[in-house]
Each structure stands twice: as structure tokens, then as C-alpha cells.
Amino acid sequence: MVAITAPSSIEQIPLVQCPRANASAAIPCVDLSAPGAAAAVADACRGVGFFRATNHGVPARVVEALEARAMAFFALPAQEKLDMSGAARPMGYGSKRIGSNGDVGWLEYLLLSVSANTVKISSLPPSLRAALEEYTAAVREVCGRVLELIAEGLGVDRSLLRAMVVGREGSDELVRVNHYPPCPLLPPVDCGVTGFGEHTDPQIISVLRSNSTAGLQIKLRDGRWVPVPPAPESFFVNVGDALQVLTNGRFKSVKHRVVAPEGAQSRLSVIYFGGPAPSQRIAPLPEVMRDGEQSLYREFTWAEYKTAMYKTRLADHRLGPFELR
């Protein structure tokens, strides 16, 4: 990666080498209401660690309302955005800086914690807050359905994973709204400006929806980066680090990143991160282990993982210190 300087500001936003123009891969697509959905979800999680979900049951009205409110929020002057949400530490409004260990990208965002379906920043504009809560309630259901399908695909009790995230008091649910304005910087040929640098998500699963502006890329098992064509009517599901451990590495958390838009359109994405309660023990589910199979990880709690994760940079291999071999 090469460092460049943004024209108006301090940040050095790294460039990424874009995949070759013809690089593409079929992103697995699962109809969540189809009879074979559990097997298809498990296949996708074992393979790429990522899939597109259709027939998810979230009304377009709910998605569009949040998109409109979020775009109106991001159009406000910077100081108003900060006054309404506080500077991200880690929750709140952030611009260009991600986390607190030096990661930067061409974006601004809102990062919010949700509990008992209440977004925990009371000073947000009420209309945005209401839209976020309605959206989160609907996407939580998608998360729950996907976790049931994953459990079924793994051959474990259907409610086991769902119960760790959805409807469990004290579970760690986050919502992130990322706004990537068109980037005026002109990167060299075959490069793009980093919108959100490569990383895996730490949680169990994440459920993402974006508008029709491209930018998301995932890393395949063979090391190739491929673009994910936008599909605003669908959701995309990522396997997170915690699910990798719960399945003893059968599912792998997927590396992904976003390249900033070069055209005239902004990219807006909303991600729901399904994390368990702080006291949840993260270790391979006994039901998935074969006779004599050893855990690849030392046991930890979600609280322990979060403490460790906040000390890392985005691209770090966060599970490394927990691996046993």
C-alpha cells in the first residue's frame, strides 16, 4: 500500500491495489425462505464466509426510510453532527479515523450500540433514531433467522446461536452507518483510495445493506480480492471471528474492505453486528466437534476479546493470540 495525503486535511489515506478489471467471483446467494436454505447457508459460510441473502422479509420502506434519514444527517455541518452524536470513542460520529490506533479511510460514520432495541445516543435527531430502531428491529430478525439456519446446517440445536445474540438481554449489538462521499483524490491507475481498510468482523455474524454504489470487496480463500456487486434489495452476511471459533475453524471470518467511490455517487452502507453478551464463553460448540477433535483456540469470553480487539489495527489477525497451534 502507498500513502497519500488528502488535500484538505491531515490524514494519510492509504491506497489499495484494485482487483483486475475482469476479477469476479460468483458471490453465493441464498433465498432465506427456500427449503434448502440451511445447507446453502452452511456451504457459503464454509466456503467464502460471505453470502447474499434474498427473501429476508425486511420491508423496502424500512430500509429506504433509514437511508433518507442517514443521508440527511450526513449532509449537516460537521459540528452539528458531532454535537448530536458525540465524537466516536468508539461510539458516536467519526470522520476518516477508524478506531483509535491510526486507521484512516475516506468515510464518515455513525457507530451506535443498541440495547433492548434502543439506540443508546439520545441526542440524535428523533426521526433518525426512530428509523434506526425500526431498521434494527427488522434486521435483528434477519440475523436470528440466519443464525437458526447456520445452526441447522451445522446439525446443532436450532436456537443455540440465535439465543446468544437475539433476544438475549445484554447481548452486544452494534449498528454502523458508513457514508463514503465521492473521493476527489485521483489515485494512480489500478489503485483506489481506501474507504474502509481490510479487516474481519470480530462478532458472530454481521448483516450489511448498501445503496447501489459499489465499493465493497471480499478476499477469497485463494487470496484474490473480488468486488461485490451492489444489491440494494438484498442483505450480505459476513462470518465473524467469534463464529470461526464456535465452529472450530469450519467457518472462516471473511476479510473485506471498501474502496471509496470515484464517480458522482456516495456509498451508504448500514451494518448490524451481532455480538454476544460480555460474559459469553467463546469456544468450539461441543456439538460440532468430532471424537477426539482438539480446539484450535484457547477459551475466552466476549468481554476479553473486545478488550484485546480495541488494541489492534484494522488489518491485524485478531484471533492470532488465541490460537493454540
Which positions lie near ligand GA4, rule CB under 6 A? 90, 98-99, 101, 103, 111, 174, 176, 199, 201-202, 273, 309-310, 312-314
Three-state secondary structure readout of 5-25: ECCCCCCEEEEEECCCCCCCC
Pick between residue 266 and residue 312 the one whose CB is nearest to ligand GA4: 312
Whichever of 134 and 172 has its CB closer to ligand GA4, that residue is: 172
What is the β-pairing status of strands 12-17 and 191-199? antiparallel
Q: Output the residue with the shortest Cβ distance to ligand GA4.
A: 99
> How many angstroms separate the Cα of 115 from the Cα of each of 7, 84, 302?
39, 19, 16
For residues 140 and 199, which CB has a smaller minimum distance to ligand GA4 in the complex?
199
Q: Shortest Cβ distance from residue 200 to ligand GA4 (Å)?
A: 8
Query: Min. distance of Cβ 192 from ligand GA4 in angstroms?
Result: 19
Least distance (Å) between residue 193 CB and ligand GA4:
18
Asked whether the bond before 59 is cis by omega within 30 degrees of 0, the reply is no
Output the DSSP codes for 144-200: HHHHHHHHHHHTS-TTTTHHHHTT-TT-EEEEEEEEEPPP---PPTTEEEEEEEEE-
The torsion angles phi and psi of 271, rounded to 5 degrees, stand at -125, 130
Least spacing, CB of residue 202 vs ligand GA4, in Å: 5
Nearer to ligand GA4, 313 or 317 (CB): 313
Contact 209, 70 (CB under 8 A): no
Answer for the pair 155, 248: CB distance below 8 angstroms, yes or no. no
Q: Measured between alpha carbons, how far is 29 from 40 in angstroms, rounded to an integer? A: 8
CA distances to 94, 121, 124 from 97, in Å:
6, 20, 21
Which single residue is written with the C-alpha cell 476479553?
Answer: 304
Which residue, 38 or 271, has its beta carbon nearer to ligand GA4? 271
- Closest to ligand GA4 by CB, 97 or 168: 97
Tell the smallest beta-carbon distance from residue 255 to ligand GA4 (Å). 11
Q: How far is the CB of 59 from ligand GA4 (least distance, A)?
A: 25
Burial profile 18-54: b = 16 or more Cβ within 10 angstroms, e = fewer:
bbeeeeeeebbebebeeeebbebbbebbeebbbbbbe
Pick the closer one to ligand GA4 by CB: 139 or 174: 174
- Name which of 153 and 275 has its Cβ closer to ligand GA4: 275
User: In whole angstroms, what is the distance from residue 283 CA to residue 308 CA?
Assistant: 16
Least separation, in Å, of the C-beta of 102 and ligand GA4? 8
